[in-house]
């Protein structure tokens, strides 16, 4: 019985010990890291350090880590370059220990720490982490070899270490200070206010993530030029630190600075930098300071000049800042004519003045002109006469809509110099653009219509009738067996003609459109057409189609599909195919033709 109890107790003890080891080891460093630390001088884990003090040549530097970022507390409270501090700590953590001189060895040699330079240590290093605070003193160099002596401040063994250790301890706080001025990432900047020798400039990023200039005038901003400005702005580095004490700003030209740059961040926070006089005996640096503290420093004069970009350079030279694939609706008005098109499932359709599919290439041609036509000149204070040109009865009005925005363009007639005035939305400014931005053809519904005027599946054709001027009518019809027979006595189907007509009707295209809703047909020879082709269909809601073929023109024949009120030009080849002899005399025996 006792043996069973003993075994149970041993099992419980083993489980408790394993749990304790697991609890202790969880979140700590592995055995390999521990073995490395046994060979290093300071045996620290860099990630665990939350405060470090470094004292050398009567200069004390103290830095504290908060939320992963290092901040200097002494000799002044200021940001530091966290990357440099991390490299210093990492370098200290890698310093290997050399010879160890124990306290017993000191007594045997009748020596004290003072003999190794610890009565007046050259430097002091203090680390603080969750386990406590640990300080080391650095004494004199060893008499032989490239090494020096190190000892814990509270006494104990003396250890030699590489003499390069001393180089890890800065003697000047400036060496580790943060030299970037603007802490915001370029992508998070939402506004700039810039007072410069060339004048005040205000830029803002609106809700649609598009930048616009608000002063000295309201206009859109060129994205690439703006990106260059922001890159130049945020790339500045402090050249030198002058003072951290409150001082007379007039001495540095900062009381009435030449530049005042304010950056607005995504969180609506601001950071303002003042830039003043040239540094004496240094023509390439200027005094500067953040308004949030007393520190005065210097920056490159060339950098400041890059910020003095003229407003006109920043202006977008694109009339419309849109991507054509994002446009969902287009409206055009000119005099009494109107056109409206909309994109439905990536297919453009005209819905005014008539509904039909629009030719995508023609719509893209219009969008390309509107989006890519460059602005030639800006008119920021237009005269009454100039403003009236964009609102006159002959002016164009164009609306381009995307999912969340509508842009309106008011475009004048061209002037003698081949330019048009344009007002963008309700802007008080106008601009000149080439007259080619819009053409009279763009208000014609036929400009956007597909060149395919008729598509009839041959399988659906029930009858075909051809009536030529002053000639007998010819027709064929499909029987129940699917064969076609002539509708006239003593005549039979001409298989070659019938096949040609069917395939021509399968995809009848035009060379060009002539008129929409014509007032008269006589000028085209369509009041008394040269030929009429009538097609009836089966198994469909469409009764049929009637094609009228009229007078010849330079590149074909005028034609119209009855009921569509569109005059177009049919190629001579298509006209000949559709009006060829549909039947032949019965004596020319030909095989029966079935539907294709």
Give the per-residue pLDDT at 34: 46
Residue-wise pLDDT for 530-572, tens only, equals: 999 999 988 655 568 999 999 999 999 999 999 888 999 999 9
What percent of the chain shows pLDDT beyond 90? Answer: 60
Alpha-carbon Rg for the chain, nearest whole angstrom, is: 44
Dihedral (Cα; 182, 74, 163, 142), 10-degree rounding: 170
Residue 460 has pLDDT above 50, yes or no: yes
Q: Cα separation of 273 and 257, whole Å?
A: 10
Question: In the predicted model, what is the mean pLDDT of residues 344-361?
Answer: 90
Q: Which of 175, 143, 301 is nearest to 240 (CA)?
A: 175
Give the per-residue pLDDT at 3: 47
Sheet of 285-290, strands arranged across: 219-220, 211-215, 199-205, 189-196, 259-265, 270-278, 285-290, 296-300, 240-243
Residue 209 has pLDDT above 70, yes or no: no
Residues 6+ apart with CB under 8 A from 410: 390, 391, 395, 396, 397, 422, 423
What percent of the chain shows pLDDT beyond 70? Answer: 91
Tokens of 83: 């990357």
Does 26 or 572 have the greater pLDDT score?
Answer: 572
Give the per-residue pLDDT at 322: 82
Give the per-residue pLDDT at 68: 87
Q: Cα separation of 373 and 409, whole Å?
A: 13
Mean pLDDT of all residues in the chain? Answer: 87
Q: Strand locations in 266-417, DSSP E? A: 270-278, 285-290, 296-300, 329-334, 337-344, 347-352, 356-357, 377-379, 396-401, 406-411
Q: Which of 198, 269, 189, 293 is nearest to 233 (CA)?
A: 189
Q: Cα separation of 323 and 335, whole Å?
A: 28
pLDDT band at 403 (very low <50, low <70, confident <90, very high): confident
Show the DSSP H helices in 390-519 as ranges: 495-506
Q: Give the H/E segment covering residue 566.
A: strand 566-570
Dmax over CA atoms of the chain, in Å, equals 143
Residue 129, SS3 per DSSP: strand
Q: Which of 51, 50, 29 is nearest to 40 (CA)?
A: 29
Give the per-residue pLDDT at 574: 95
Residue 206 has pLDDT above 80, yes or no: no
Tokens of 36: 């490395």
Tokens of 160: 């030699």
Outline which parts of the chain fall under CATH 2.60.40: 452-585
Say if residues 286 and 237 touch (Cβ distance below 8 Å). Answer: no
Residue bearing tokens 């064929």 = 476
Give the per-residue pLDDT at 23: 39
Q: Which of 29-43, 113-127, 256-270 has the lowest mean pLDDT?
A: 29-43
Question: In the predicted model, what is the mean pLDDT of residues 492-496?
Answer: 91
Residue bearing tokens 């030209």 = 253
Residue 345, SS3 per DSSP: coil
- The one-character DSSP state at 394 is T
Q: What are phi and psi of 564, to 5 degrees?
A: -95, -20
Neighbours of 459 (CB within 10 A): 14
- b/e 347-361 (16+ beta carbons within 10 angstroms → b): ebbbeeeeeeebbee
Say if residues 530 and 475 touch (Cβ distance below 8 Å). Answer: no
- CA angle (211, 216, 217) in 5-degree steps: 65
Residue-wise pLDDT for 148-190, tens only, equals: 999 999 988 999 999 999 999 999 999 999 999 887 888 889 9
Tokens of 84: 């440099």
Does 132 or 210 have the greater pLDDT score?
Answer: 132
Q: Cα separation of 275 and 196, whole Å?
A: 10
Q: Give the H/E segment covering residue 73.
A: strand 69-74
Domain 452-585: top CATH class: mainly beta
Question: In the predicted model, what is the mean pLDDT of residues 286-315?
Answer: 91
Say if residues 197 and 307 touch (Cβ distance below 8 Å). Answer: no
pLDDT band at 10 (very low <50, low <70, confident <90, very high): very low
Residue bearing tokens 């103290």 = 62
Residue 28 has pLDDT above 60, yes or no: no
Give the per-residue pLDDT at 139: 94
Q: Cα separation of 201 and 232, whole Å?
A: 16
Neighbours of 445 (CB within 10 A): 20
Q: Please return the burial class of 202, using the count of CB atoms within 10 Å of its CB with bins 0-12, 13-18 and 19+.
A: middle
């Amino acid at each position: 019985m006792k043996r069973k109890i003993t075994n149970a107790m041993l099992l419980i003890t083993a489980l408790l010990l394993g749990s304790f080891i697991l609890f202790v080891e969880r979140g700590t460093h592995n055995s390999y890291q521990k073995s490395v630390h046994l060979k290093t001088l300071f045996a620290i884990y860099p990630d665990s350090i939350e405060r470090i003090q470094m004292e050398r040549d009567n200069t004390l530097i103290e830095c504290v880590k908060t939320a992963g970022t290092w901040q200097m507390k002494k000799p002044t409270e200021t940001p530091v370059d966290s990357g440099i501090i991390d490299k210093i700590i990492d370098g200290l953590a890698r310093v290997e220990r050399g010879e160890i001189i124990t306290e017993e060895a000191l007594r045997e040699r009748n020596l004290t720490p003072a003999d190794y330079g610890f009565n007046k240590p050259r430097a002091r290093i203090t680390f603080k982490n969750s386990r406590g605070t640990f300080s080391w003193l650095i004494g004199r160099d060893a008499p032989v070899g490239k090494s020096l002596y190190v000892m814990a401040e509270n006494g104990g063994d003396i250890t030699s270490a590489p003499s390069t250790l001393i180089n890890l301890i800065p003697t000047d706080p400036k060496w580790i200070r943060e030299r970037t001025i603007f802490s915001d990432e370029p992508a998070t900047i939402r506004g700039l206010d810039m007072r410069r020798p060339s004048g005040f400039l205000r830029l803002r990023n609106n809700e649609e993530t598009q930048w616009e200039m608000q002063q000295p005038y309201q206009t859109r901003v060129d994205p690439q030029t703006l990106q260059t400005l922001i890159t130049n702005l945020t790339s500045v580095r402090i050249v030198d630190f002058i003072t951290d004490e409150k001082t007379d700003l007039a001495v540095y030209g900062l009381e009435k600075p030449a530049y005042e740059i304010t950056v607005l961040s995504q969180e609506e926070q601001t950071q303002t930098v003042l830039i003043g006089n040239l540094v004496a005996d240094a023509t390439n640096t200027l005094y500067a300071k953040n308004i949030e503290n007393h520190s005065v420093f210097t920056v490159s004069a060339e950098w400041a000049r890059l910020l003095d970009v003229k407003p006109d350079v920043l202006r977008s030279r694109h009339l419309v800042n849109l991507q054509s694939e994002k446009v969902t609706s287009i409206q055009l008005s000119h005099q009494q004519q109107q056109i409206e098109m909309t994109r439905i499932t990536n297919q453009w359709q005209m819905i005014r003045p008539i509904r039909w599919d629009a030719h995508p290439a023609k719509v893209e041609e219009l969008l390309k002109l509107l989006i890519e036509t460059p602005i030639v000149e800006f008119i920021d204070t237009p005269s009454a006469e100039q403003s009236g040109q964009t609102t006159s009865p002959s002016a164009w009005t164009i609306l381009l809509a995307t999912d969340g925005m509508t842009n309106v363009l008011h475009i004048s007639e061209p002037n003698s110099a081949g330019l048009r005035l344009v007002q963008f939305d309700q802007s008080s400014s106008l601009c000149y653009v080439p007259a080619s931005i819009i053409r009279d053809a763009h208000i014609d519904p036929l400009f956007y219509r597909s060149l395919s005027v008729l598509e009839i599946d041959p399988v659906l054709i029930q009858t075909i009738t051809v009536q030529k001027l002053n000639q007998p009518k010819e027709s064929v019809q499909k029987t129940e067996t699917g064969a076609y027979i002539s509708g006239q006595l003593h005549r039979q189907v001409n298989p070659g003609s019938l096949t040609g007509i069917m395939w021509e009707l399968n995809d009848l295209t035009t060379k060009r459109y002539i008129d929409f809703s014509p007032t008269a047909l006589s000028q085209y020879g369509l009041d008394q057409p040269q030929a009429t082709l009538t097609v009836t269909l089966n198994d469909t809601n469409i009764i049929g189609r009637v094609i009228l073929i009229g007078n010849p023109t330079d590149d074909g024949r005028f034609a119209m599909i009855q009921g569509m009120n569109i005059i177009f030009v049919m190629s001579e080849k298509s006209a000949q195919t559709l009006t060829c002899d549909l039947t032949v005399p019965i004596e020319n025996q030909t095989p029966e033709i079935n539907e294709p």
